[in-house]
């Protein structure tokens, strides 16, 4: 039996929302389909009457600069993000996080919007975007509005974006500027292809010798993609010495909620990885902020 009956490629955001409304919960958005189609096929979610594909909506297949933001359309794939020099320089952790998703075949079709809409606590692109202070533009029955990403997550795989009635149209973040940079790192099982044992992304702004501000995102470290706010507050005003970065990781351990997963890693192992890898991730961002040079690492790994 077919997994869906109708497939729509609307030309405007309004049309996409109108189709979803018409199907009254029996249709949903699709990006690359790399999560969605497997879930339907494997019976983890019900079949739908219709799929709504935003990739033909004019402008949503592009990354643009708008009013001081870098704006990523819903149809933009991980490969497009990885290949964009503006993203490498001003959103390095996003390139590094999107660049490790699946293999090239997955990255060529899968979208950042789909990664965020899936709302998994360990979604790599989601963690990268969260560290950058990303916002999502949601279109639905109540109109079109921008939200800080962290306000939209509710639980594992759940967000305020009801993908049967709403779409993420765009994602945006402020590009990193002078004395500012970001970095991402993840720990993966050998031969693992999907989600990591633990992933982390940071954005750091320096003011001379001290950290003026920092954002730290870790996943999976709770029920939702986790923003380590205590760690961020601790880092503010500190000199980024080895001792400080180690204390930042210890602070992160006081606020994360780590689970043991039979498929990926024990909570103890994840703790150890935060303790050893978060200082390195922060140090990388600090180095990049100091040197003004940001070359994404481990992309395609």
Ligand X SMILES: Cc1cc2nc3c(=O)[nH]c(=O)nc-3n(C[C@H](O)[C@H](O)[C@H](O)COP(=O)(O)OP(=O)(O)OC[C@H]3O[C@@H](n4cnc5c(N)ncnc54)[C@H](O)[C@@H]3O)c2cc1C
Q: Applying CB under 6 A, which part among 2-10, 30-38, 176-184, 227-235 lies near ligand X?
A: 30-38
3-11, 26-34, 62-70, 254-262 -> range binding ligand X (CB under 6 A): 26-34
If one asks whether residue 32 binds ligand X (CB under 6 A), the answer comes out as yes
Of the pair 132, 235, the CB lying nearest ligand X is at 132
CA distance 107 to 47: 24
- Can residue 36 be called a binding residue for ligand X (CB under 6 A)? yes
* Least CB distance to ligand X at residue 169 (A): 7
Check if the beta carbon of residue 294 is closer than 8 Å to that of residue 132.
no
For residue 232, state whether it binds ligand X (rule: CB under 6 A).
no
Residue 282 CB contacts under 8 Å (≥ 6 apart), including other chains? 183, 202, 204, 214, 216, 235, 240, 245, 248
Q: Does 219 bind ligand X (CB under 6 A)?
A: no
CB of 179 to ligand X, least distance (A): 30
Handedness of CA 221, 43, 34, 196 (dihedral sign): positive
Task: Output the CA torsion 261→265→253→91 (10° steps).
Answer: -100
CB atoms within 10 A of CB 284: 22
Q: Does 201 bind ligand X (CB under 6 A)?
A: no
Taking the least distance from each CB to ligand X, the nearer of 168 and 258 is: 168
Q: Output Rg (C-alpha) for the chain, integer angstroms.
A: 19
- Distance CA(244)–CA(64), nearest Å, equals 37
Shortest spacing between CB 38 and ligand X, in angstroms: 6
Q: Where along the sequence are the contacts to ligand X (CB under 6 A)?
A: 28-36, 38, 54, 74, 100-102, 106, 110-111, 113-115, 117-118, 123-125, 161, 163, 167-168, 193-195
């Amino acid at each position: 039996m077919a997994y869906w009956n109708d497939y729509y490629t609307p030309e405007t955001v309004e049309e996409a929302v109108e189709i979803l409304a018409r199907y009254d919960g029996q249709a949903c958005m699709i990006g690359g389909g790399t999560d969605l189609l497997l879930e339907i096929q494997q019976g983890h979610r019900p079949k739908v009457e219709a799929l709504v594909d935003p990739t033909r909506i004019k402008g949503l297949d592009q990354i643009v600069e708008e009013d001081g933001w870098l704006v990523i359309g819903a149809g933009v794939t991980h490969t497009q993000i990885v290949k964009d020099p503006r993203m490498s320089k001003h959103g390095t952790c996003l390139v590094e996080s999107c660049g490790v998703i699946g293999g090239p075949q997955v990255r060529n079709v899968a979208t950042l919007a789909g990664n965020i809409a899936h709302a998994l606590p360990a979604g790599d692109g989601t963690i990268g975007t969260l560290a950058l202070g990303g916002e999502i533009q949601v279109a639905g029955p109540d109109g079109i509005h921008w939200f800080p990403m962290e306000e939209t997550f509710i639980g594992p795989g759940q967000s305020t974006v009801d993908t049967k009635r709403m779409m993420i149209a765009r994602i945006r973040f402020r590009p990193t500027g002078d004395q500012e940079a970001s970095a991402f790192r993840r720990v993966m099982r050998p031969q693992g292809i999907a989600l990591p044992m633990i992933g982390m992304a940071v954005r750091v702004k320096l003011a001379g010798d001290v950290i003026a501000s920092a954002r730290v995102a870790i996943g999976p470290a709770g029920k939702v993609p986790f923003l380590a706010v205590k760690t961020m507050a601790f880092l503010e005003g500190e000199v980024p010495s080895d001792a400080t970065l180690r204390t930042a990781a210890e602070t992160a351990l006081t606020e994360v909620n780590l689970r043991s997963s039979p498929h990926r890693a024990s909570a103890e192992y994840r703790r150890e990885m935060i303790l050893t890898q978060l200082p390195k991730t922060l140090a990388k961002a600090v180095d990049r902020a100091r040197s003004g040079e940001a070359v994404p690492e481990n992309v395609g790994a």
